Amino acid sequence: MIYKAKDHLARWYSLIELQPDAEILKAREKAIKKIIKSDDKKFWLDIIRLSLGVTVKNTSNREEKFVLEFKSADPNFQIENNDNVVKVLASISLCFKLEEDSTINYFIALALNNSRFLNQYDYEKTIPFYDYGIKYLSSSQNDIRNFDSDSLQVFIEKHKPINPTEVLELSKIVEIINEQRENIGHIIDLLNNSNSVLREESNVSWWLLGEYSKTLNRPLKEIGVLNSIAAVAKDLYDLTEFEHGFQSAEQLLHKALSIANNGKSSFDKTSLYDFINSFDDDTIKKWINEENEFSEFTPCLSAFKLRLGFDKGDDWSSAYSKQNWNGNIKQSFLPVQISLEIYNELMLQCNG
């Protein structure tokens, strides 16, 4: 049996009340169902912040768009000294949202994924909102690129054209013509999607075969591993046709980095701090668009941007730790881990 978020509501809410009343649970679920109808991306970034225990700067998102919904459903809802209550309800709301068919769920899942890269935040594992996000990422990246030619043939067979020998009333003819117009539009969308998938796969294959970084306009073997970490992430991002990233992004980036490593698949670890310090300002500006939004959901790109405010050689690690995107910038990672995170952050900015 597959359980839904609502089936876990009582257990999750027990973090606030050990034995929650049925009427309270009903009121909470009513409020949550209203909240998850919103597709405001900035609002949901604030919900993630609340679930991580981060102070939200936009108080209207917390008080008016979130807390007020629970107050409307339950007049006795606690509106003061309620940080833990809000944190738990924000976490639960994320689980409910990620089960919905929403156009912004990939964005939410990416933000959740990125928020944990530097082990910035602990989260209450009883409410697995982070796991919901990772699961959604895995499924959505695959689904958007699926193209089943058999299902297209079935669709075409099911919607055959008008029989020219059949006598029909004018209203029926108009109805059928409109239906066929919609069917043709659907078929064109399927074919366009298929073409995009094929073009994307072809471009990525040629990129790896060519062993060349368009971002730096140099062969990967000349660049070396350290310089390739961000370059291959940006290259793959530029080759991504869809708003959803590649499910196989880690494998593709590992292959590109192995080329830069002269075919070797084993790598020395490096920290984000040491990696970024190896570049000058002009090179850093190739990785980032300074007009984009930087936050705790883009820890790597935020580090790039922060580094631009310092002279090369300056120690900027303490300045980084003071920002909202707290994390140990000097902890070590494999090159592909940093590269994948940069790719995911670029995808988040694209979806934002």
Q: Judging by beta carbons within 10 Å of its beta carbon (0-12, 13-18, 19+), is residue 174 exposed, middle or buried?
A: exposed
Structural domain of residue 281, as residue ranges? Answer: 211-351
pLDDT at site 163: 55
Residue 324 DSSP class: S
Question: For the chain, how many structural domains are there in total?
Answer: 3
Q: Confirm whether 202 is domain-assigned.
A: no
**What is the value of pTM for the model shown?**
0.85
Do 127 and 172 lie in a common domain? no
Do 109 and 52 lie in a common domain? yes
**Rg of the Cα trace of the chain?**
24
pLDDT at site 190: 63
pLDDT at site 188: 64
In whole angstroms, give the CA distance from residue 262 to residue 256.
Answer: 10
Do 162 and 236 lie in a common domain? no
Do 227 and 340 lie in a common domain? yes
Do 187 and 114 lie in a common domain? no
Do 130 and 179 lie in a common domain? no
pLDDT at site 143: 59
Tokens of 259: 């080329």
- Residue 301 CA: distances (Å) to CA of 63, 285, 312: 30, 10, 17
Q: Cα dihedral angle (33, 38, 42, 45), rounded to 10 degrees?
A: 30
Do 345 and 227 lie in a common domain? yes
Please report the DSSP string for 164-215 in residue order: TT----HHHHHHHHHHHHHHHHHHHHHHHHHHHHHHHHHHHHHHHHHTEETT
Q: Confirm whether 90 is domain-assigned.
A: yes
pLDDT at site 175: 62
Pairing of strands 270-271, 332-333: antiparallel
Q: Confirm whether 206 is domain-assigned.
A: no
Q: Confirm whether 205 is domain-assigned.
A: no
Tokens 């959740």 locate to 112
Do 169 and 73 lie in a common domain? no
pLDDT at site 185: 61
Do 32 and 139 lie in a common domain? yes
Closest CA to 246 of 232, 261, 265: 232
Q: Confirm whether 73 is domain-assigned.
A: yes
User: CB of 334 within 8 A of CB of 267?
Assistant: yes
Do 252 and 173 lie in a common domain? no
Q: Confirm whether 178 is domain-assigned.
A: yes
pLDDT at site 237: 95
Q: Is 335 helix (H, G, I), strand (E, B) or coil?
A: helix
Please report the DSSP string for 8-71 in residue order: HHHHHHTTT-SS--HHHHHHHHHHHHHHTT---HHHHHHHHHHHHTPPPS-HHHHIIIIIHHHH
Tokens of 5: 């978020």
Do 86 and 48 lie in a common domain? yes
- Give the residue from 97, 116, 143 where a domain finishes: 143
Closest CA to 267 of 255, 277, 278: 255
First-residue to last-residue Cα distance in the chain: 35
pLDDT at site 167: 47
**pLDDT block averages, 10 residues each, the chain of length 352:** 84 88 93 95 95 88 89 90 92 95 92 89 84 86 57 53 52 59 61 73 91 92 92 95 88 96 92 90 84 87 90 85 76 95 93 80
Q: Confirm whether 14 is domain-assigned.
A: yes
Do 216 and 319 lie in a common domain? yes
Q: Confirm whether 204 is domain-assigned.
A: no
pLDDT at site 150: 52
